[in-house]
Amino acid sequence: MSDSQGTSTASSDITRRELMQAAAVIGGAVLGEQLVPGAISPALAQAAGAATAPLDVSLRINGTEHRLSLDPRTTLLDALREHLHLTGSKKGCGLGQCGACTVLMDGMRVKACLSLAALAQGRDIKTIEGLAQGEELHPLQASFIERDAFQCGYCTSGQIMAGVACISEGHAGSPQEIREWMSGNLCRCGAYDHIVAAIQDAAAVSSSTQEG
């Protein structure tokens, strides 16, 4: 427990992240047994918990090479969040449907939850953490703030990474085109109108920069 001066004792040296991780593991096991009856047999659950031989994986994230030892089942998203503590990329559905985990791989937008980390070796990966130039926000980050293009913010980093790609691909020509080419990113708050406006603004900045 922390005292009034804010120093902590040895027993409290557990970070919020570690606590959340522990809770997630325990909670997941309970959910697996109770909410999906017959879905996962005890033998299967045991097998799933069994260790598989870790792989040496080298990942290039935002220009920095990271050497990791990973279970082959680790997705790129889990490698980013759980192993490299780059938690800007979010896990929404974990099944490729919501787009909250969107990152750029060799300049192209992909869903990090659908990539096995070991198969992303040798690729150039950019996450939301690598978008700003020092203190200077990327034009789309700035326009998301200007346009108030989020409420809860959970989908925002995925929206921004997808939006950056949408602009660089040349698919930001009209609100209709933006909506079609941003269809891989869901926003449960329904901030779509503002997201489209933010992408239009940033696309205009991008084209004027190129022309200038």
Partner 1 sequence: MHPFVLERPRDLSAALSFGAQAGRNDAPVEYIAGGTDMVQLLQEYVRRPDRLVSLAGVLDDGIEIGPQGLRLGAAATMAEVAAHQAVVEHFPLISQALLNSASPQVRNQATMGGNLLQRTRCPYFRDVGYEACNKRVPGSGCAALDGENRWHAVLGTSDDCIAVHPSDLAVALVALDASVELRGTGGDRSVPLSDLHRLPRDTPHLEAVLEPGEVITAITVPATAAGLRSHYLKVRDRASFEFAVVSAAVAIETDGARIRQARVALGGVGTKPWRLPNVETALAGADFEPAVLRQAAALAAEGTRGRGHNDFKIELMQRAIVRAVEIAGARA
- The rounded distance, in Å, linking the Cα atoms of 210 and 203 is 11
Contact characters 105-144, partner 1, x per CB under 8 A: x--xxxx-xxxx-xx-------------------------
- Going by the DSSP 8-state scheme, the letter that residue 11 receives in this structure is G
Report long-range pairs for 106-114 (Cβ below 8 Å, ≥24 apart): 107/165, 107/168, 108/165, 109/161, 109/162, 109/164, 109/165, 109/166, 109/184, 111/184, 112/75, 112/76, 112/77, 112/80, 113/75, 113/76, 113/77, 114/75
Segment interacting with partner 1, rule: CB under 8 A, options 17-25, 60-68, 100-108, 132-140:
100-108
Looking at 88, 153, 175, 184, which residue binds partner 1 (CB under 8 A)?
184
> Judged by CB under 8 A, does residue 68 bind partner 1?
no
Binding status of residue 187 toward partner 1 by CB under 8 A: no
Q: Judged by CB under 8 A, does residue 181 bind partner 1?
A: yes
Q: According to the binding rule CB under 8 A, does residue 89 interact with partner 1?
A: no
Confirm or reject binding of residue 165 to partner 1 (CB under 8 A).
yes
Query: Rounded to an integer, what distance in angstroms lies between the CA atom of residue 167 and that of residue 173?
Result: 8
Q: With binding defined as CB under 8 A, does residue 183 bind partner 1?
A: yes
Q: Find the shortest distance in angstroms from Cβ 126 to partner 1.
A: 14
